Structure 1
Amino acid sequence: MPIELPTEQLLRDLEMRLLDPDFRRDTSAVLELLTDEFLEIGTRGRHYDLVSIVKEMSRGRSQPVVVEDFEVRELYPTVMLCTYRTIGATGRAVYRSSVWVKRRGRWQMSFHQGTPIPDPWSSTS
């Protein structure tokens, strides 16, 4: 089912906020965008719940990334799947997927996963 552009743009904007290193250090702002039952599976396979991801974000270790191929799919009228690729300053590429749910009129991320993209020129790929 096609997604209305305003919803797609809104979710892209929310994702961009959560990728912004300055925004990530603002615990109260981050908490507004994540559900209480939030779960993340990081690029190294580590699981994070709401408390642990907020703590990790507040440490300020993240760097700016370039976002490519951003897409939104409707799973249900109040549930959206965002997929995209990020490329960090080191050239490391990661496929990302996020599930957003709309509750009480606002969108919040419920799940996020980052999957490293193997370097095609690496002998270990």
Structure 2
Amino acid sequence: MSDTCLTLDDIETLTRLEESLWRAETRYDPVLMDRIFADDFFEFGRSGRIYPREDLILPACAARPIDVRLPLPGLKFTVIDTNSVLVTYVSEVRRALDNVETANRSSIWSRRDGAWQLRFHQGTACQAPTDK
């Protein structure tokens, strides 16, 4: 990867990894999440709460459906350096029939030993975009 571009394989991998955080079958896989979350990972949640890594590696028995819009709307990749990428998008999560929580999302992914790991994630509540 150069300083300014990602390969198609990088984009496909980062898309799959980011979406794995929103798919119940992968999000509640503690072995997978242990590999994905870097040792120094933390999150600023949509609620404003700060989540350390250990709070976000959930057991399979905690699994519940995640009603999120996929593919992730507005997915964008910005190269930070040769081994770091900022991923941004909007999440739309249905919590009830008439309640969709919308947030601007950002993730920092770093390539370590040939594998992408999530270093940081933030969700900021926002208004749902209007269709024009």
TM-score, length of structure 2 as denominator length: 0.82
Match of 1:18 in 2: 21
What pairs with 1:1-125 in structure 2 (closer than 5 Å)?
1-55=4-58, 59-61=62-64, 63-66=66-69, 67-89=72-94, 90-118=99-127
Q: Note if contact 1:26-1:58 (Cα within 8 Å) is conserved in structure 2.
A: no
SS in 2 for 1:94: strand
Task: Give, in whole Å, the separation in 2 of the partners of 1:58 and 1:82.
Answer: 29
C-alpha spacing 1:6/1:37, structure 2 compared with 1 (3 Å)? same
Task: Give, in whole Å, the separation in 2 of the partners of 1:37 and 1:51.
Answer: 10
**Structure 1 stretches lacking a partner, 5+ long:** 121-125
Shift of 1:57: 8.5
More helix by share: 1
Q: Deviations over 1:9-29 (max 9, x none)?
A: 210110011111221111111
C-alpha spacing 1:70/1:119, structure 2 compared with 1 (3 Å)? closer
RMSD in angstroms over aligned alpha carbons?
Answer: 2.1
SS in 2 for 1:64: coil
Aligned pairs, number? 121
SS in 1 for 2:66: coil
Q: Note if contact 2:29-2:59 (Cα within 8 Å) is conserved in structure 1.
A: no
**Structure 2 stretches lacking a partner, 5+ long:** none
Point out the more displaced range, 87-96 or 29-38. Answer: 87-96
TM-score, length of structure 1 as denominator length: 0.86
Match of 1:123 in 2: none
Shift of 1:60: 2.7
